[in-house]
Amino acid sequence: MKKISLAVLGLYIGILAAFSQDPNGDSGVYKSRALKIDEVNFVSSYYHQEGNHSAVTGGIGTEKLTDYANSIELKMSHYDFKNRKRSIGIEAGIDYYTSASSDNINPKNLSSASSRDIRVYPSVSYGIENEKKGTLVGFNASYSHEFDYTSIGVGVSFNKSSRNRNREFGVKANAYFDQVSIIQPIEFAPVGANSGASRGDDHVYPTSPRNSFNLGFSLSQVVNKKFQLAFLMDLAYQKGFLSLPFHRVYFSNGKEGMDVLPDTRFKIPLALRANYFIGDKIIVRAYYRYYQDSWGLKAHTANIETPIKITPFVSISPFYRFYMQSAIDYFAPYKQNDANSIYHTSDYDLSKFSSNFFGMGIRFSPPKGVLGIEYLNMLELRFGHYTRSNDLQSNIVSVNLRFK
């Protein structure tokens, strides 16, 4: 039920997967078939936001939210009898958040379950890589649960590298099957329901499905030793209950209602990523994405990050991201929606705005391990500050520990 700016978290925390290659290119060389641990990653972050356009209260009111997130990822691999590399990834995450805006679902109950919650999200992945043929087939499954939302995801992927490994084509398909609990503002709640899902409320809330289907394509090319390019396209289709029932709408005629949005949404993002190596110590990572969907939203994203090696074992990574979007066709501010409209919302995440996100990361990877701990081979700290033109602001700090 939390209202975190997903653009911030999505940009900030990413996991990159890479698979090693046989430098000899000889499939006849014996490789151990015993399952081994390649690495373990632990990520912990603290996120806090402030704003004054809560959708729970119709586009006005506090958006204050705090989130503590922790995840651990285990990567393992072994070679089968055909010398194919089989990789297994297991990840488990847990978030704890407090949300002042969600508490306003029922303003008379200011200690409801809506004001704080725990989200758990385990996932598993499995990959089969044929290093000789340059192919990789992957499978994944995920689960996410919090008080009013449950999601089950499955996916498959395929990557093919050229003979010289300078070009790679990838395709992936994912499906997410979600159930949304219909928790309404107190004034619209069924008789006997303590809306706001207060602790101790034994009312069983009805649920509604929300399914998402994604199909992505990627093409990466090593232009030369210093320059790499990647083209990305992701098609997404959503169907089901895409509104949030606890979001209020105040109409221009003085009446009050709830969010109502179409039950389908089609999204088309196109992106270009470029990496350029300036000598041995500086990398310029640039990214641009154009987005358009069937609700009328159009958006542009431009991001640049420049890792700089200070010493062989210490690097810093300043980054900056600019984003701008148009409003969807159904958005209007507080008391400006037409009461006769079929679809309407005052959720400022769907309004017209621009944003800036900037910060710095610092990474330590000494050869003898961080703090002399042999298997702790990397420590990374990151901080980011986010501002939005409609008054939302947030800060996030994270720490990443990698054991190998």
One pLDDT digit (tens) per residue for the chain, 404 residues: 555 444 444 444 443 333 333 433 444 455 668 899 999 999 999 999 999 999 999 999 999 999 999 999 999 999 999 999 999 999 999 999 988 766 677 655 544 445 678 999 999 999 999 999 999 999 999 999 998 889 999 999 999 999 998 999 999 999 999 999 888 887 777 665 555 544 445 566 788 999 999 999 999 999 999 999 999 999 999 999 999 888 999 999 999 999 999 999 999 999 999 999 998 899 999 999 999 999 999 999 999 999 999 999 999 999 999 999 999 999 999 999 999 999 999 999 999 999 999 999 999 999 999 988 989 999 999 999 999 999 999 999 999 999 99
Instruction: Please state, as a whole number, how many other Cβ atoms lie within 10 Å of the Cβ of residue 34.
Output: 7
Rg (CA), the chain: 23
Which residue do the tokens 């910060």 mark? 359
DSSP state of 163: T
Residue 240 covered by a domain: yes
- Residue 376, in any domain of the structure: yes
- Cβ neighbourhood burial of 164 (10 Å; 0-12, 13-18, 19+): exposed
Residue 254 lies in a domain: yes
d(CA 134, CA 168): 9
* pLDDT the model gives residue 184: 82
Backbone angles phi, psi at 361, to 5 degrees: -120, 150
Domain CATH code at residue 46: 2.40.160
Q: How many domains does the chain have?
A: 1
Bridge partners (DSSP) listed for residue 277 = 283
Question: What's residue 32's pLDDT?
Answer: 67
In whole angstroms, give the CA distance from residue 332 to residue 339: 11
Domain that includes residue 176, residue range:
6-25+33-403
Asked whether residue 267 is assigned to any structural domain, the reply reads yes
Residue 21 contacts by C-beta under 8 Å, 6 or more apart in sequence? 131, 165
pLDDT value for 193 = 56
- pLDDT at site 114: 52
Contact (CB, 8 A) for 331 and 315: no
How distant, in Å, are the alpha carbons of 36, 236, 364 from that of 113? 42, 32, 40
- Please report whether residue 1 resides in a domain: no
User: Assign residue 108 a region: left if phi > 0, alpha if psi is -120 to 50, beta otherwise?
Assistant: alpha
